[in-house]
Amino acid sequence: MKTNEKRLFFTTIVVILALLAGFTVYNFISFYDNAVRNIQSVGENALAYQTEQLNEYLNKGMDVLKVTSISVEYLMKEGKTAKEIEGFLVEESQRYMSDIDKNFTGIYGWVLGEYIDGIGWTPPADYVAKERDWYITAEKAHGNAVIVSPYLDAQTHTVMISVSRMLSDGDSVISLDITLNEIQALTSQMGLDDMGYGFIVVRDGMVVAHHNIDELGKNYYEDGEMGGLLDAIPDERSVFDYVIDGQQCKVFTNTVMDDLRVVLVIESTKLFSEIHGILIRNIVVCLIVFGVILVFSSFMMKRLRESSQNEQKVREQLKQQNTDIIKTIVRIIDAMDRYTNGHSQRVANYSREIARRLGKSEEEQKDIYYAGLLHDVGKIRVPKEVINKPGKLNDEEFRQIKIHTITGYYILKEIYKEGAILNAAKFHHERFDGKGYPMGIAGENIPETARIVGVADSYDAMASDRSYRKALPQAIVRHEIESGKGTQFDPKIAEIMLGMIDEDKDYMMRQAELKSKTILVADEQVFTIRMVVDMLSESADYNIIGTQTEDELHKLLSEMNVDLLVVDAQMFGEIKPAISKIRQISDIPIVLLISDKQGAALSELSEIGVTDFVTKPISSYVLQEVIHGILD
């Protein structure tokens, strides 16, 4: 009996061992194949992440250049001199380095026939701006923002790259210098679980970032082996094998902005020795306890899930950056007309609601919302005195207004490919009966997005204050929409707008009433208080209160609803404890008035959360713009 039991036991053990051995062999083969594919996929994902970071960084520089170019073009249209524009570039260069990226080392360019520089560099006498790479490259790009060939600074051993853009006058060029220190930092971290190394080259072979800093600036086409590697890289994302220094390597590649190639190199022996170790450990684990495989699988799934979450986070960050850029552009346009501030936002909200009631998808509603936000971007070319004219426009002024639809289309065409946004900018002033502008198209030939935004735009124009009139009563607005069905407006869309009006019993769909803002001015000198009052007296939107003592300042902050505090730093013995005490009473915005003697105190401002200040003697336009930027 015992013999039979032993036989059965050993038979069971043998069968289990045979099954386990068969499973292990099968698992070995299957896992090896899958591991090779997974490691390749992980390598591709790691490279894709680094490529996305590089692309995001360069796009940030492109966005900065585009916004600066638009601002310079606006200053040129305003008749500003090259010297005044240079002053603007100096301020922007300092702001970009402090607020956006310290690697954005300066803005410069050729404007109105002169070389101007945002960091104060004076070129030598034989310097010819139009013969420099940054100018020639921008000229060939015909108004598009373009990356200029990088170069190695021999003194700092830093790779520099420039992005340039020719302005609309066909002669002026604005350029931004970027040091690739951050790109070098990203590249030094490239790898797969501490294996391999990465580098970035331009198409002509120059190394602009490398795991080994000694490789910076080299031209790999002058190295036979590395030149062959570059020749083997296709234009698109790829993975292939290549022999480097006698070692078989796995090479992962990707391309950024058509000119930069991102490369990750891992020795195959190191890459697959890790797989072999995992397989051996799995065999041992299978002999000990099969359940550990489940733990290992769960761990791997967690790692993959975290990688996916990180990629999603990056995509959300990019979406948020795009939204912030759109809102910045809209604020620039709306700020040109103080009477219609918020117009674009309201048009966007009305347009999205109309789209929802038309049964559009969430994605379509979002596109129409952005179309409403950006429909008036072309007004950046319209003089402010025309936009804010209180009386009737003459023919020339009306022509300038009408052309904003074409201007907006071509501005947005450089940034967006979505038809909804472009169509809304170009056609939102067309009429259903064909009597609109700029093209005079009619009916359903007008893109639907433009017909939606056109109704929303007309409604808000009537429901908002203008320089020449107050907002119209709701009944009159409704009558105008009703009368325009089939002539000015698409009947179906107008009917939806009428339904929205009828539901709005309290006339909430209108421009909000402007409320007076209370500004508390604190200075020991009554002369300074009076001077600030005089500087801000042009605006009826400000209620200004003055005080000459710190105690009364605290009392007023405690008892009143104050929107902004303007205070002379010399009122306080020490700025930091004084501001901290004010913060205990109220968290309102603070603008410090600082004399030259207070310059040393500026280093303390960021620590106490004060970022706004005006130096003495006070410039009225600086003070007005600072307060307008905070309150309006």
Measured on CA atoms in the order 177, 179, 183, 187, is the torsion positive or negative? positive
Compute the distance between CA of residue 142 and CA of residue 165 in angstroms, rounded to an integer. 8
Rounded to the nearest 10°, the torsion over CA 410, 416, 419, 423 is -40
Q: Which fold has domain 36-288?
A: Beta-Lactamase (3.30.450)
Residue 44 pLDDT = 76
pLDDT digits (tens, 9 = 90+) for 145-169: 888 888 776 556 778 888 999 999 9
Of the pLDDT bands very low, low, confident and very high (cuts 50, 70, 90), residue 277 is: low
Q: Which residue has the tokens 């902005």?
A: 257
Least trusted range by pLDDT, from 54-68, 85-99, 135-149, 509-523: 509-523
pLDDT digits (tens, 9 = 90+) for 370-408: 999 999 988 888 888 887 777 788 889 889 889 999 999
List the one residue out of 94, 112, 87, 78 whose CA is nearest residue 619. Answer: 87
Q: Quick one: tokens of 212?
A: 């080994």
Q: What is the mean pLDDT of the chain?
A: 83
Q: Tell me how far apart the terminal alpha carbons of the chain are, to the nearest angstrom.
A: 97
What's the number of CA atoms in the CB half-sphere (13 Å) around residue 199?
25
Residue 245: partners with Cβ closer than 8 Å, 6 or more residues away: 225
* 237 vs 10 pLDDT, higher one: 237
Residue 1 pLDDT = 46
List the one residue out of 565, 569, 571, 573 whose CA is nearest residue 591. Answer: 565
Which residue ranges make up each domain of the chain? 36-288, 330-503, 517-631
* SS3 state of residue 214: helix
Alpha helices in 375-465, H assignment, sequence order:
384-387, 395-402, 404-413, 419-427, 448-462
Residue 213 pLDDT = 83
* SS3 state of residue 562: coil
Compute the distance between CA of residue 423 and CA of residue 406 in angstroms, rounded to an integer. 10
Compute the distance between CA of residue 174 and CA of residue 134 in angstroms, rounded to an integer. 9
Answer whether residue 573 shows pLDDT above 80. no
Contact, 562 vs 586, CB < 8 A?
A: yes
Contact, 488 vs 440, CB < 8 A?
A: no
Over residues 228-234, the mean pLDDT reads: 83
* 538 vs 587 pLDDT, higher one: 587
The superfamily CATH assigns to domain 330-503 is Hypothetical protein af1432 (1.10.3210.10)
* 50 vs 297 pLDDT, higher one: 50
Alpha carbon separation from 168 to 72, 369, 458, 473, 474 (Å, rounded) = 10, 28, 30, 42, 42
Beta-bridged to residue 178, according to DSSP, are 104, 161
Residue 386 pLDDT = 81
* 601 vs 92 pLDDT, higher one: 92
Residue 469 pLDDT = 78
Over residues 408-427, the mean pLDDT reads: 87
Residue 335 pLDDT = 64
* SS3 state of residue 204: coil
Residue 2 pLDDT = 47
Hey, how many other C-beta atoms are within 10 angstroms of the C-beta on 474?
19
* 198 vs 317 pLDDT, higher one: 198
Alpha carbon separation from 382 to 276, 426, 609 (Å, rounded) = 69, 15, 38
Alpha carbon separation from 205 to 234, 299, 365 (Å, rounded) = 14, 41, 46
Topology match between the domains 330-503 and 517-631: no
Over residues 67-88, the mean pLDDT reads: 91
Hey, how many other C-beta atoms are within 10 angstroms of the C-beta on 226?
21
Residue 209 pLDDT = 86
Contact, 226 vs 220, CB < 8 A?
A: yes
Residue 568 pLDDT = 86
Residue 455 pLDDT = 97
Answer whether residue 42 shows pLDDT above 90. no
Residue 548: partners with Cβ closer than 8 Å, 6 or more residues away: 522, 523, 524, 525, 526, 529
Q: What percent of the chain has pLDDT over 70?
A: 82
Of the pLDDT bands very low, low, confident and very high (cuts 50, 70, 90), residue 195 is: confident
Under DSSP, the state recorded for 586 is -
Q: What share of the chain is helix, strand, coil (3-state, %, to 5)?
A: 55, 15, 25
pLDDT digits (tens, 9 = 90+) for 100-156: 888 888 899 999 999 999 888 888 989 998 999 899 999 998 889 888 888 776 556
* 35 vs 73 pLDDT, higher one: 73
Hey, how many other C-beta atoms are within 10 angstroms of the C-beta on 529?
20
* SS3 state of residue 120: coil
Over residues 263-280, the mean pLDDT reads: 74
Contact, 423 vs 450, CB < 8 A?
A: yes
Residue 290: partners with Cβ closer than 8 Å, 6 or more residues away: none
pLDDT digits (tens, 9 = 90+) for 297-348: 566 666 666 766 777 887 777 767 767 777 777 776 666 665 556 888 899 9
Answer whether residue 497 shows pLDDT above 90. yes
Over residues 3-23, the mean pLDDT reads: 62
Three-class SS string for 172-195?
CEEEEEEECHHHHHHHHCCCECCE
Report pTM: 0.45
Residue 600 pLDDT = 45
* 182 vs 118 pLDDT, higher one: 118
Which amino acid, residue 33? D
Q: Tell me the residue ranges of DSSP E strands in 49-139.
A: 104-111, 114-117
Q: Which fold has domain 517-631?
A: Rossmann fold (3.40.50)
Over residues 64-87, the mean pLDDT reads: 91
Answer whether residue 598 shows pLDDT above 60. no
Omega of the bond prior to 438 within 30 degrees of 0, cis? Answer: yes
Compute the distance between CA of residue 441 and CA of residue 630 in angstroms, rounded to an integer. 43
